[in-house]
């Protein structure tokens, strides 16, 4: 390729490689002024030093540990040094994985930044619009360069570490005030794990357990009893223990070498100090397809980090052997609950955490680096009711990316929720690829990333030996992949729940809000705006207004209520009034989703298990909300959520609705915010699918 390129000429990465080879031959890992000028000219950028970079853009290709090369853009100069916490999302800096973006997508992200909006405003004052074509062409070439020199590209002779352009001024050609380019040698990737063996982990035809006590209720013994209590056949279970013939009716064998046939799953519940030699024996005997490492502290303390890293290296090397060797889940791993596999290997006794089926068909999975995260989520909201729950632990072998990729291809899974503390090197990119694969397959991916503060990042390192990484980068790349990102633990609960409840519904931006409590109707309207997206209050059609007026007349509320959206239908409205008006909203073509405050404390609503004041005027009444609302929610394709904002007296009302698949929240703000965040993510996923389909069709 010539050293200078027109806007329409293709970019050949081989030219950049030649420049890097010249620098490397001279003993440098950066480009000198001549090499840098030549590289930029090929990209379509002129180097025009000037005093100050204020008002321009900083555009940067940056190699990151988790995601490989990312493309970033935002304010240049002193403004770039301001604390990003002072800005709303997407206002200071935007970034994307070079693999998952294109020039049009990233230019749309740049338009959200204050730096771009300032440039556009100045251009309008000068009587013209910003010419975006040179910037789009430059971005396309930068993305091509980034993909060619990415750390995950096996054909790349070098890895681009950083290419930074400061003070970029839109124009033809683009002009940068300064630039810097650094590169390095490629690093050999980890051996690919035999991900197909995760099926053996989830649906084992045989299970062995090491670490079961015959005399005390240790973790191994609790796991054994939980597996049996979950319905797993005892004849398919083994305890590896030479001292006994059986424990709790399960046959014992002396050890791995005494196995009659290869085990699908081996659960290791021994002390951490015994794991190192045991893993070597597991690899040497090749007697197991999948292994679950329960013990903690491997790699989580300074003393254990070097031995744990060596252990991970030996497991990684085993994957290069014929058959791929066993896959390992953990260590520091609570275990797995697999309802289809009929086993529960958590070391939490079932009496402390029962798992009744709350969905007609379990269709979600929860993956978490913290077992306690899953325990508390499920204990507080059993309606989450995942098909599988897997504690990932410290990713000695199987990673978040491996597991998400496995579930992205399963037809029986619609929603995937994940709690993440950190990634192994480049597994963030693998994870983002898997998230996009899942979203394009019609699944929903809900993520919460811990370690969002400096103290939190320290806690992550001590818990599962994870490096937390930059939470802002994580969010940007994962939103780009199509995932829903929870800012808080409450957000995760709400998004994972609403995603499971509304997966089959059609989404849109116009909300209808109804309540007999004035504050709730207003609260819904006040909660429709998020940080990066907002719903609107839909304008009711004249026919809808007439339907609602007829309901108000029939219920003698017409003198008290004015029809509008949001609508306060008065505390005198009974169950039928609430739901008849809600259905009128659902039938309106200008309304895409409906939230109804069900006003459990109102005297006209049948919300009690038993009413002493009005016997029979309770949940058992066929005219109660728990009887009327479920069929309405089922037959309408639009999201329909109920708000039961009341104390423990109304737990039964909420539970009976949720048992029938109605999406219910106990707080109006949380419910509305969850719907807004969910709608934003669903619409973004639909746009992503449309862009992908268009790209393939063209």
- pLDDT tens for 494-547 read 999 999 999 999 999 999 999 999 899 999 999 999 888 999 999 999 999 999
pLDDT for residue 696 is more than 80: no
* Cα distance between residue 290 and residue 472, in whole Å: 35
**Mean pLDDT over the full length of the chain:** 92
Between residues 7 and 467, which one has the greater pLDDT? 7
pLDDT band at 215 (very low <50, low <70, confident <90, very high): very high
* Cα distance between residue 330 and residue 594, in whole Å: 43
* Cα distance between residue 42 and residue 6, in whole Å: 9
CB 139 within 8 Å of CB 71: yes
Cβ-based neighbour number of residue 512 at 10 Å: 27
pLDDT tens, residue by residue, 609-665: 999 999 999 999 999 999 999 999 999 999 999 999 999 999 999 999 999 999 999
Using CA atoms, how far residue 504 sits from 439, 536, 668, in Å, is 14, 22, 23
* Cα distance between residue 206 and residue 238, in whole Å: 8
pLDDT band at 91 (very low <50, low <70, confident <90, very high): confident
For residue 698, the model assigns a pLDDT of: 57
Residues 6 or more apart from 138 whose CB is under 8 A from it?
Answer: 43, 44, 45, 59, 174
For residue 626, the model assigns a pLDDT of: 98
pLDDT band at 300 (very low <50, low <70, confident <90, very high): confident
pLDDT for residue 152 is more than 80: yes
- Tell me if residue 67 falls in helix, strand or coil: coil
* Cα distance between residue 475 and residue 393, in whole Å: 21
pLDDT tens, residue by residue, 216-258: 999 999 999 999 999 999 999 999 999 999 999 999 999 999 9
The closest of 198, 201, 199, 223 to 212, measured between CA atoms, is 223
pLDDT for residue 455 is more than 50: no
For residue 483, the model assigns a pLDDT of: 97
Buried b / exposed e along 59-82 (16+ C-beta atoms within 10 A) = bbbbbbbbbbbbbbbbbbbebbee
pLDDT tens, residue by residue, 13-60: 998 999 999 999 999 999 999 999 999 999 999 998 876 555 689 999
For residue 624, the model assigns a pLDDT of: 98
* Cα distance between residue 675 and residue 527, in whole Å: 10
The closest of 451, 55, 496, 410 to 203, measured between CA atoms, is 410
pLDDT for residue 457 is more than 70: no
Which residues are 226's β-sheet partners?
none
* Cα distance between residue 64 and residue 67, in whole Å: 6
The closest of 505, 504, 522 to 513, measured between CA atoms, is 522
Cα 110 vs. chain centroid, distance in angstroms? 23
pLDDT for residue 463 is more than 50: no
Using CA atoms, how far residue 147 sits from 131, 344, 534, in Å, is 26, 43, 34
Q: Nearest-5° angle of CA 615, CA 620, CA 622?
A: 110
Q: How far apart are the first and last CA of the chain?
A: 26
Phi-psi region of 642 (alpha: psi -120 to 50; beta: other; left: phi over 0): beta
Tell me the domains of the chain and their CATH numbers.
13-184 (3.30.470.20), 195-501 (3.40.50.261), 505-683 (3.40.50.261)
pLDDT band at 465 (very low <50, low <70, confident <90, very high): very low
Model pTM score: 0.92
Strands 388-391, 364-368: parallel, antiparallel or unpaired by DSSP?
parallel
Q: Nearest-5° angle of CA 403, CA 406, CA 407?
A: 90
* Cα distance between residue 405 and residue 424, in whole Å: 15
Between residues 131 and 630, which one has the greater pLDDT? 630
For residue 190, the model assigns a pLDDT of: 86
pLDDT band at 464 (very low <50, low <70, confident <90, very high): very low
**DSSP code of 529?**
B
For residue 5, the model assigns a pLDDT of: 53
Segment 300-327 shows an average pLDDT of 90
Between residues 489 and 472, which one has the greater pLDDT? 489
For residue 460, the model assigns a pLDDT of: 40
* Cα distance between residue 570 and residue 574, in whole Å: 9
The closest of 482, 472, 394 to 436, measured between CA atoms, is 482
Using CA atoms, how far residue 372 sits from 219, 242, 269, 353, 367, in Å, is 15, 32, 17, 12, 12
CB 482 within 8 Å of CB 684: yes
Strand extents, DSSP E, 262-321: 263-268, 288-293
For residue 596, the model assigns a pLDDT of: 98
CB 588 within 8 Å of CB 539: no
CB 72 within 8 Å of CB 54: no
For residue 555, the model assigns a pLDDT of: 96
The closest of 176, 173, 177 to 44, measured between CA atoms, is 173
DSSP for 22-46, written as a single string: HHHHTT-SB--HHHHHHHHHHHTEE
């Amino acid at each position: 390729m010539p050293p200078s390129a027109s806007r329409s000429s293709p970019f050949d990465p081989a030219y950049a490689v030649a420049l890097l080879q010249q620098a490397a031959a001279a003993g440098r890992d950066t480009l000198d002024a001549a090499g840098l000028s030549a590289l930029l000219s090929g990209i379509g950028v002129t180097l025009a030093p000037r005093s100050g970079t204020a008002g321009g853009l900083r555009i940067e290709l940056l190699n990151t540990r988790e995601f490989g090369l990312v493309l970033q853009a935002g304010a240049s100069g002193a403004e770039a040094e301001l604390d990003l916490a002072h800005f709303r999302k997407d206002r200071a800096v935007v970034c994307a994985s070079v693999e998952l973006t294109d020039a049009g997508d990233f230019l749309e992200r740049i338009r959200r930044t204050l730096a771009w909006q300032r440039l556009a405003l100045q251009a309008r004052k000068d009587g013209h619009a910003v010419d975006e074509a040179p910037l789009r062409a430059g971005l396309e070439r930068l993305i091509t360069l980034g993909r060619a020199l990415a750390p995950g590209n096996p054909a790349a002779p070098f890895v681009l570490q950083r290419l930074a352009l400061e003070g970029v001024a839109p124009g033809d050609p683009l002009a940068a005030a300064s630039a810097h380019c650094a590169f390095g040698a490629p690093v050999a990737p980890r051996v690919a794990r035999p991900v197909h063996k995760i099926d053996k982990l989830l649906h084992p035809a045989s299970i062995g357990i090491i670490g079961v006590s015959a005399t005390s209720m240790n973790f191994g013994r609790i796991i054994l009893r939980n597996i049996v209590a979950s319905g797993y056949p005892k004849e398919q279970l083994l305890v590896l223990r030479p001292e006994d013939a059986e424990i709790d009716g399960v046959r014992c064998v002396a050890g791995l070498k005494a196995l009659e046939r290869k085990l699908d799953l081996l659960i290791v519940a021994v002390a951490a100090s015994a794991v190192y030699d045991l893993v070597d024996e597991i690899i040497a005997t090749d007697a197991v397809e999948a292994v679950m490492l329960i013990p903690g502290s491997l790699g989580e303390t300074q003393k254990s980090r070097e031995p744990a890293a060596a252990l991970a290296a030996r497991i990684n090397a085993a994957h290069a052997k014929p058959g791929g060797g066993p896959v390992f889940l953990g260590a520091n791993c609570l275990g797995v609950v697999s309802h289809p596999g009929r086993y529960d290997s958590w070391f939490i006794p079932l009496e402390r955490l029962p798992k009744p089926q709350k969905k007609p068909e379990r269709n979600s999975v929860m993956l978490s680096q913290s077992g306690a995260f899953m325990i508390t989520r499920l204990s507080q909201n059993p309606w989450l009711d995942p098909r599988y729950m897997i504690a990932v632990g410290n990713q000695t072998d199987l990673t978040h990316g491996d597991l998400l990729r496995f579930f992205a291809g399963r037809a029986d899974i619609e929603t995937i929720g994940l709690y993440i503390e950190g990634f192994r090197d480049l597994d963030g990119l693998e994870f983002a690829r898997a998230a996009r694969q899942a979203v394009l397959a019609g699944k929903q991916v809900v993520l919460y990333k811990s370690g969002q503060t400096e103290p939190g990042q320290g806690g992550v390192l001590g818990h599962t030996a994870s490096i937390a990484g930059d939470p802002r980068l994580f969010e940007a790349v994962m939103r780009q992949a199509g995932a829903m990102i929870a800012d808080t633990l409450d957000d995760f609960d709400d998004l994972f729940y609403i995603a499971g409840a509304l997966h089959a519904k059609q989404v849109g931006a116009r909300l209808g809000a109804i309540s007999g409590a004035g504050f709730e109707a207003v609260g819904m309207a006040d909660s429709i705006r998020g940080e990066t997206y907002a719903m609107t209050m839909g304008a009711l059609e004249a026919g809808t207004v007439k339907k609602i007026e007829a309901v108000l007349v029939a219920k003698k509320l017409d003198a008290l209520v004015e029809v509008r959206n949001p609508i306060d239908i008065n505390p005198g409205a009974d169950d039928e009034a609430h739901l008849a008006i809600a259905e009128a909203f659902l039938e309106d073509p200008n309304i895409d989703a409906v939230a109804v405050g069900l006003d459990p404390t109102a005297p006209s609503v049948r919300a009690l298990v038993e009413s002493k004041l009005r016997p029979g005027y309770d949940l058992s009444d066929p005219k109660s909300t728990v009887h009327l609302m479920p069929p309405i929610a089922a037959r309408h394709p639009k999201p329909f959520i109920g708000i039961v904002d009341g104390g423990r007296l109304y737990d039964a009302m909420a539970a009976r609705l949720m048992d029938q698949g109605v999406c219910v929240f106990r707080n109006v703000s949380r419910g509305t915010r969850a719907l807004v965040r969910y709608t934003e993510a669903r619409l973004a996923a639909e746009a992503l699918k449309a862009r992908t389909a268009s790209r393939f069709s063209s």
